[in-house]
Structure 1
Amino acid sequence: MSTILAKLPTGMRAELKEPLGAVYTDADALLADAGEPLVAVGDIVTYHLLEAGRRPDVAVVDGKTKRERVEREVLGAIEAFDDRIDVANPQSTITDDLLEALASALEAPGSTVVVVDGEEDLASLPAVVGAPDDASVVYGQPDEGMVLVPVEEESRVRCRELIEGMQSDYDRIAAILS
């Protein structure tokens, strides 16, 4: 049974609408600027990166975009990965299962897709906190494009502050990601 370690309060939703990095509409341009390893959060982002010829090292997907089921060809993209981890993560939360899957996927030698039963929208925050220096986290910005977040001290601090601003057990989150 997964434990919720962070829950997004309604008052923070607007704060999370601001992109954490540059917004791209072209996957090739994004990939030219991306570091390694590459972490993708979201079905559509993962699909576009695969279509551009780059399999993310880690992808976190939930089979939905804007709360609607994704098309079959997008769903099929999860078959492109070496390993698969299934987790439960309710809407507007970060669970220990999601964090453990992220940590495991970041350490795995091949590519891993984390398939979320629930919602993966907040996964980009712990992905930035847990990914190594010079990695990149890419997530979708609805109706705008893909956001590229270079993993460095500044972006880690920002994501940590956002998680700490939620109803969260940040110490436990940090322990799982370290």
Structure 2
Amino acid sequence: MRILPARHRQLFKEPFGTLFHSFEEVLKFLPGKTVFSVGDVVTANLLRAGRPPEVAIVDGHTMRQPYPGVNIPEYHQLLVKNPAGGLTEDLIDATQIAASRQGTVIQVEGEEDLAVVPLAMHAPLGTVILYGQPGEGVVLLSITPAMKKRAEELFTCFEEVSTPTAREVFNI
């Protein structure tokens, strides 16, 4: 499990890609591209536009409020747990699997906001990742070698923490 310490959170407030203030602006950049999405609203907007993402990561919430489920039943479904402000090994592994197996939805129990970092690390070059920037719009991240390097740099901001076992907690 990796946690993003408070001292690094400001790095994640800036868009990791190009910010668009309307979803319609983004659509013109998608033809011919492999598209991955992070977030329920972005994924739902892609589906409404008739452009389903090849990979979607959703958590059933937007801005911490329940959001009607995004459902792509014909896709492979992966269910992982992930807390706010962190990245579990399950989520990191799921992004790697999904990036190589298009037609996958990663359903996160918890929060998916930071999943863009490992997804960018694992996405093939040329992939476009879309995610929401709260209160501002949609971010389009084109995966280039430089963006993969930036994702790896951001990933190093997370600190690995161990989760104690029940035996450790109760000294059994």
What's the TM-score bracket when you normalise by the shorter of the two chains? 0.7 to 0.9
1:53 aligns with 2:45: no
1:159 aligns with 2:151: yes
Structure 1 vs Structure 2 CA RMSD: 1.7
Instruction: Within 5 Å, give how 1:4-153 maps onto structure 2.
Output: 4=1, 6-34=2-30, 36-70=33-67, 72=68, 75=69, 77-79=70-72, 81-109=74-102, 111-153=103-145
Map of 1:174 onto structure 2? none
Per the TM alignment, residue 113 of structure 1 is displaced from its structure 2 partner at its CA by 0.8
Gaps (5+ residues) in structure 1? 170-178
Per the TM alignment, residue 79 of structure 1 is displaced from its structure 2 partner at its CA by 3.2
Q: Distance in 2 between matches of 1:145 and 1:36?
A: 20
Q: Distance in 1 between matches of 2:46 and 2:88?
A: 26
What is the identity, as a one-letter code, of the residue corresponding to 2:109?
D
Q: Distance in 1 between matches of 2:43 and 2:59?
A: 11
Give the TM-score normalised by the residue count of structure 1: 0.83
Per the TM alignment, residue 30 of structure 1 is displaced from its structure 2 partner at its CA by 1.3
Distance 1:36 1:99, change over 3 A: farther
Q: Distance in 2 between matches of 1:144 and 1:126?
A: 23
Higher Rg: 2
Higher helix share: 1
Per the TM alignment, residue 155 of structure 1 is displaced from its structure 2 partner at its CA by 1.1
What is the identity, as a one-letter code, of the residue corresponding to 1:7?
I
SS in 2 for 1:124: helix
SS in 2 for 1:78: coil
Identity rate, percent: 36
What is the identity, as a one-letter code, of the residue corresponding to 1:60?
I
Q: Distance in 2 between matches of 1:132 and 1:78?
A: 24
Gaps (5+ residues) in structure 2? 162-172
Q: Distance in 2 between matches of 1:40 and 1:168?
A: 26
Larger displacement relative to structure 2 (130-139 or 24-33) = 24-33
Answer yes or no: is the 8 Å Cα contact 1:81–1:113 preserved in 2.
no
Answer yes or no: is the 8 Å Cα contact 1:83–1:113 preserved in 2.
yes
How many residue pairs align between the two structures?
A: 160
Map of 1:173 onto structure 2? none
Per the TM alignment, residue 142 of structure 1 is displaced from its structure 2 partner at its CA by 0.4
Give the TM-score normalised by the residue count of structure 2: 0.86
